[in-house]
Amino acid sequence: MEINTVHSVQKASYVSQNLTETFDSVNRAFSRQAKYFDESERNNIILADMRTQVRDHVMKYLKRGDYILELNAGTGLDAEYFVEQGFKVHATDLSDGMIQMLKQRIIHQNLSNSITFQQCSYTQLDQLNTSGFNYIFSNFGGLNCIKDLSQVTKFFSGVLKDRGFVTFVLMSKFCPWEFISVFKGNFSYAFRRFKKNGAIAHLEGEYFKTYYFTPKKVLKSFGKKFKLIKVEGLGVLIPPPVKENVPKQQPKFYKVLKYLDKKLRNHFPFNRWADHFIITLQYSME
Ligand SMILES: C[S@@+](CC[C@H](N)C(=O)[O-])C[C@H]1O[C@@H](n2cnc3c(N)ncnc32)[C@H](O)[C@@H]1O
């Protein structure tokens, strides 16, 4: 496989006339973040633990030789991991900066035989230059930038093979760690995820809308041909990645939280009461 040339991103003003809802500001924000994205991940134990949990989840459903479509792939951390496990990946992202970092990763790690890439929004999957995937994967809330997930899932039956899997990792509506700030009187922070029309995210000097999901809402965005396989909480008791000092300053406390988190995260309601949740569905053509 060859590395694909970078496609120009269409201005996504069709999403909304409201400036905060276009992908232009999302592109600018993540492009700025791209330069230090991998480094901040390396220094953040919580983020690394969460990523390990996501990968372990996905590995349960992947089969030898599978071809993965990754949405909002960022700098390609997961794409590289899945290639190391023997899979092929078509990695997509909207952001100029992320695509640039992804391209550098492919060149420096000599991955062009197993990772291809394409700059495109997940709302433009009809423009993909390849198909026949066994798995569609989206990690760490890239899909929280869109209100209506059906604008993404509507393309899946056209590119996914029969019995293929989809795994989304999304920020949830109810995060216990955030909610406890209600006891400190910080009501706007505690309730921000419940806002019907999304909360304003501030990243790298840019403002854009972020939407929070329940597994039920995600399921609704898929047609009847997708069956729910598993919902798992990600960051139930362990703090969200912004609290990156907790494991460094209170390692024993973090270890206990991690142990209890593992016990709870597969059981209702903790499989959805978490910073993020991992949801996996399976596609059936009939
Ligand atoms: C928090 S980063 C996660 C990146 C990667 N999945 C990871 O786990 O490292 C979110 C990513 O979503 C991408 N993104 C946001 N909106 C997008 C869209 N409409 N289409 C494709 N990618 C998008 C951003 O460019 C960014 O790379």
- For atom 10 of ligand 1, the residue with the nearest CA is 142
Which pLDDT band holds residue 286 (cuts at 50, 70, 90)?
Answer: confident
Q: Is the CB of 140 under 6 A from ligand 1?
A: yes
**Span of 14-18, 19-23, 76-80 with lowest mean pLDDT:** 14-18
**How far does residue 74's CA lie from ligand 1's centre (Å)?**
5
What mean pLDDT do residues 169-175 have?
Answer: 94
**How far does residue 197's CA lie from ligand 1's centre (Å)?**
20
What mean pLDDT do residues 176-202 have?
Answer: 83
**Distance between CA 140 and CA 51 in Å, rounded?**
8
The pair of structure tokens assigned to 205 is: 């000097």
139 CA closest ligand 1 atom index: 6
Using CA atoms, how far residue 229 sits from 20, 141, 186, in Å, is 34, 20, 36
Using CA atoms, how far residue 212 sits from 36, 74, 108, 193, 216, in Å, is 25, 20, 36, 6, 12
Which pLDDT band holds residue 113 (cuts at 50, 70, 90)?
Answer: very high
Q: Is the CB of 139 under 6 A from ligand 1?
A: yes
What is residue 8's predicted lDDT score, i.e. its pLDDT? 30
**Distance between CA 255 and CA 204 in Å, rounded?**
32
Q: Identify which of 30, 118, 140, 204 to mutate to test ligand 1's pocket (most ligand atoms within 8 A of the CB).
A: 30
Percent of the chain at pLDDT > 70 equals 92
Q: Identify which of 20, 94, 151 to mutate to test ligand 1's pocket (most ligand atoms within 8 A of the CB).
A: 94
Is residue 197 predicted with pLDDT exceeding 60?
yes
Q: Are strands 199-203 and 206-210 parallel, antiparallel or unpaired?
A: antiparallel
According to DSSP, the residues that pair with 168 across neighbouring strands are 138, 279
Is residue 3 predicted with pLDDT exceeding 60?
no
Q: Is the CB of 141 under 6 A from ligand 1?
A: yes
Residue count (the chain): 286
Is residue 13 predicted with pLDDT exceeding 60?
no
3-state SS assignment for residue 14: coil
CATH number assigned to the domain with residue range 19-283, chosen from the 4 options 3.30.1360.80, 3.30.365.10, 3.40.50.150, 3.50.50.60: 3.40.50.150
Which pLDDT band holds residue 79 (cuts at 50, 70, 90)?
Answer: very high
Q: Which of 44, 99, 55 is nearest to 76 (CA)?
A: 99
What is residue 196's predicted lDDT score, i.e. its pLDDT? 81
**Span of 36-50, 194-208, 229-243 with lowest mean pLDDT:** 194-208
Tell me the whole-structure pTM to 2 decimals.
Answer: 0.91
- For atom 25 of ligand 1, the residue with the nearest CA is 95
- For atom 15 of ligand 1, the residue with the nearest CA is 142
**How far does residue 264's CA lie from ligand 1's centre (Å)?**
28
Q: Is the CB of 142 under 6 A from ligand 1?
A: yes
What kind and span of H or E run contains 5?
A: none
What is residue 4's predicted lDDT score, i.e. its pLDDT? 34
Q: Which of 155, 72, 77 is nearest to 111 (CA)?
A: 77
51 CA closest ligand 1 atom index: 8
Beta carbons within 8 Å of 158's beta carbon, 6+ residues apart: 125, 126, 131
